[in-house]
Chain A
Amino acid sequence: EAQVTQNPRYLITVTGKKLTVTCSQNMNHEYMSWYRQDPGLGLRQIYYSMNVEVTDKGDVPEGYKVSRKEKRNFPLILESPSPNQTSLYFCASREISANVLTFGAGSRLTVL
């Protein structure tokens, strides 16, 4: 089944404890992206990648890092999480020439 897989789905952590949210897609998509979803704000793009070793900032990149060493994986790294990063995170992918994104099921992160 074609899908985007995120892990963990739920995580509670404490301020300053580094964490990584993994994202993997099995569709050979070039484009991958991370979003956060907060009440009343909709989906906001954190980082995106057009292909391996190519990453760019989205609208809200502060406090996040990403890497794209392999085409299928696009992990989101929070080096020192803070409570304002408590949110629902979505990873998504698409073919570079396409428009429609395939989203993962989401990762709900709580930073205490």
Chain B
Amino acid sequence: GESVGLHLPTLSVQEGDNSIINCAYSNSASDYFIWYKQESGKGPQFIIDIRSNMDKRQGQRVTVLLNKTVKHLSLQIAATQPGDSAVYFCAERVSNTGNQFYFGTGTSLTVIP
């Protein structure tokens, strides 16, 4: 499988602070990336995506940054809330594998009230 990893397995932040979750990928043929959020006892849910021809994409309270030079993407969550506590993981689509996705191991975010 492809190597999609995360720098930190756990992250704790104070409520109201900004959170940054990082993801490294290894395949230059990756052309599309998705961030998923997985709450306890639930399946992963889509948060935001970005194509490789973009550097930045913003959603509601979330921003994804893509640095193709160093094969790194990050998820920034503004004004983190208790409901943001979950495991976050990135997924990369490798264009020369029939558009299959490969998933990272995840970072567990804990928001401290």
User: Which residues of A are interface residues toward B (Cβ below 8 A)?
Assistant: 4, 35, 40-45, 48, 58-59, 90, 92, 99-101, 103-106
Contacts and interface: CB of A to CB of B under 8 A. Distances in A.
Nearest to B103: A43
Interface in B58-113: 89, 91, 93, 99-101, 103-106
Contacts of A42: 4, 89, 103-106
> What 10 pairs between A and B have smallest CB-CB spacing?
A103-B43, A43-B103, A42-B105, A59-B1, A42-B103, A100-B46, A103-B44, A105-B43, A104-B43, A106-B43
Q: Interface size for chain B: under 10, 10 to 19, 20 to 34, or 35 or more residues?
A: 20 to 34
B34 interface: yes
Contact of B45 (A40, A99, A103): A103
A72 to B, nearest CB: 17
A87 B4 CA distance: 20
B105 A4 contact: no
Contacts of A104: 43
A62 to B, nearest CB: 14
Contact of A105 (B41, B91, B99): B41
Contact of A100 (B4, B34, B99, B105): B34
B105 A41 contact: yes
B82 to A, nearest CB: 21
B100 to A, nearest CB: 7
A90 B44 contact: yes
Contacts of A43: 44, 89, 91, 103
A99 B49 contact: yes
